[in-house]
Amino acid sequence: MSDEIIRKSAAELGKLYRSGEVSPVEVIDAVLDRMEHVDQALNIMVTKTAEQARADAKKAESRLRSGEDLPPLFGVPMTVKDLAETAGVRTTYGSVAFADYVPDEDAIGWARLKEHGAILLGKTTTPEFGLLGVTESKLTGTTGNPWRPDHTPGGSSGGAAAAVAAGVGPVAWGSDGGGSIRVPAALCGLVGIKPSIGRIPAAGCVDGDSTD
């Protein structure tokens, strides 16, 4: 069942939660196990938040039992590109200069995703400040493509795209100023969406107005 769970879309997970067929704890446990397995081969994660993700999943189960209205991303496991700030979680921007930086506030985009029920799995790899078309840096090394680990997933949201393609969450939050979501999505066999500039607030993201 765990292999089936990790390939469910965000919409499918929502239906399964509401029908009682699977629980948020089951899903988070399955995805975290998958993350540990593929990260060793692909180097997709900078910082993992497994303990907090499991705690959030337990809280989600309590909400599910309460019968309250649930937000659209309820219980959806998600990774965040390490160019966006996450309160209390290390945010490096792919740079050794920020290797130990822990912000106090969430980027607005992530705050909204979290408000709508998303559960953070961790931060995905990116080239330093998102300035390369491949995902490699002195801080984290080189990220591989799930289809061929010795090939690149592109950049600069390469860790995000590789995570989704490898079954580490059905969706990921990246950023795109010149193809940084769209190119990795194409190289990893996914769909990447770049909304119009200004549609999503850029506060808390290192790459200005290009967040998606």
CA angle 151, 206, 179 (to 5 degrees): 40
Inter-helix orientation angle 50-66/24-42, to 10°? 160
> In sequence order, what E strands does 30-85 have?
45-48, 77-81
Catalytic residue from among 8, 23, 48, 81:
81
Catalytic residue from among 23, 95, 156, 157:
156
Catalytic residue from among 123, 180, 194, 210:
180
| 137 part of the active site | no
Q: Where do we find the tokens 């590789």?
A: 162
DSSP 134: S
| 58 part of the active site | no
Interatomic CA distance for residues 137 and 208, integer angstroms: 20
DSSP 99: T
First-to-final CA distance of the chain: 32
| 156 part of the active site | yes
**Residues annotated catalytic, as ranges:** 81, 156, 180
